[in-house]
Amino acid sequence: MNEDRHFDEMFGRGEHPRRPYQDFHQWFDAEDPSRLRKKAQQAEELFRLTGITFNVYGREEAGERLIPFDIVPRIISGAEWRRLSKGIEQRVQAINAFLHDIYHRQEILRAGRIPAHLIAQNEAFLPKMIGVEPPGKVYTHIVGIDLVRTGEDEVYVLEDNARTPSGVSYMLENRETMLQMFPELFSQNRVQRVSNYPKLLHKSLCRSAPDSAGRHPVVAVLTPGIHNSAYYEHSFLADQMGVELVEGHDLRVIDGRVAMRTTRGYKAIDVLYRRVDDDFLDPLNFNPDSALGVPGIMDVYRAGGITIANAPGTGIADDKAIYSYMPEIVEFYTGEKALLKNVQTWRCSEKDALAYVLDNLSDLVVKEVHGSGGYGMLIGPTASKKELAEFRAKLEAKPGNYIAQPTLSLSTVPIFTKAGLAPRHVDLRPFVLMSPGGIEITPGGLTRVALKKGSLVVNSSQGGGTKDTWVLEE
């Protein structure tokens, strides 16, 4: 069952199930495989009927796709989750403090803990945010922290998603699907719920409203439109929160407030959960050709008339060169050692690091500092000679655009196949809500799974699928 060098979360490095999986494994062994195959087909049909799709860009097969779903849950014990949660909370607090500092006193730069040029020359840094005080001093209202596991007690942060993290709708639909397909499993296992996420999201956004908001702040979700890869999620979350889903052309600035068009005229908005990138947010302040944003919204924001979640300029915390300094960032702002470990990272902008990466390219994973979705990356051990040569040329031409990391021995979780259980590599994206009222971490998150045998790429855009993630009650 288990691949030689990988830690399997169901079986560890042996043949018997680990404690969190024991009840599930006993149930699975007693099930008729033909019933499970039928249930897997029904789950796929349910996803199709619900319209749970995503868009793929820039490839021959580009277009709308169904996200693959696997019926074997990933199971995490309550004690394991408690330890993870502490590390996640510490990291998110540090990221928010870092963003406030970078756009105000820049103490971390003065202390020499991060090179100033990494900020000043960073395309994700927004000079227009310097001196701007977001309501409640919160920049990172919604954060996704990507985690990978390499052993029983070895967890690493692969990357931080503080700009516009996506995938929470899949987490919720995965759970809903499992509840419909296998209700008996939830009566046998004490699984912590995730269904209250939309309610918690709405509550957290309302708590982040500016002082000018009334007792019942008006919240809206800003989407780029139906052609965006995450449009399903935008409409899903707006519907679940009971708020309006708006596009840029539905909004305008009236009397110093951002207002949305309704059947009764324009109505002022207090909190805008935006799923539009910084550059397209305001054509008067950023990209003048943008038709997705709201002319003048940044002026209202600077004046304290609206909360934008997440705050403009948070993308600098997603930068993979900044990521390499996260242990220093956590210690600088919390006074504590980071509870969650970073993956060793070589910054290709540095001469010695670049030389090492070029010498060991076939053993490393190389990523663009602003890359996402699994695009623009090289996995050395599986790359062809041609791909290695092409990436070598890219590195030599623009070294500052890349970082490199060792190829981790990612943990596996079984998937259900025609031949039975088979191990596949996974990662985990827990979702974190931050407001002046505190931090909420949804128990579990989105498990993404590489459905191809041996593949380390879990992104849905690159052929990966998803699983329901269970955190058991302690």
> What's residue 128's pLDDT?
95
Q: Does a structural domain hold residue 357?
A: yes
Q: Does a structural domain hold residue 320?
A: no
> What's residue 306's pLDDT?
98
Q: Provide the residue range defining the domain that includes 384.
A: 344-407
The closest of 355, 369, 364 to 402, measured between CA atoms, is 369
DSSP 339-352: SSEEPP-EETTSHH
> What's residue 15's pLDDT?
84
> What's residue 469's pLDDT?
98
Tell me the C-alpha to C-alpha distance, in Å, between residue 256 and each of 31, 52, 295, 334, 427: 62, 38, 12, 37, 44
* CATH number (domain holding residue 403): 3.30.1490.270
Q: Does a structural domain hold residue 34?
A: no
Provide the domain count of the chain. Answer: 1
Q: Does a structural domain hold residue 107?
A: no
**Residue position matching structure tokens 């987490």:** 171
Tell me the C-alpha to C-alpha distance, in Å, between residue 279 and each of 286, 315, 321: 5, 11, 21
> What's residue 51's pLDDT?
67
Cα radius of gyration rounded to whole Å, the chain: 22
Q: Does a structural domain hold residue 377?
A: yes
DSSP 157-224: EEEEE-SS---HHHHHHHHHHHHHH-HHHHHHS-BPP-TTHHHHHHHHHHHT--TTS-SS--EEEE--
Q: Does a structural domain hold residue 350?
A: yes
Residues in the chain with pLDDT values less than 70: 1-5, 51-65, 371-375, 460-463
Residue 379 and residue 365: Cα distance in Å, rounded?
5
350 contact partners, CB below 8 Å, separation of at least 6: none
> What's residue 115's pLDDT?
93
Q: Does a structural domain hold residue 108?
A: no
- The token pair at 349 is 């902008």
Q: Does a structural domain hold residue 389?
A: yes
Q: Whole-model pTM?
A: 0.92
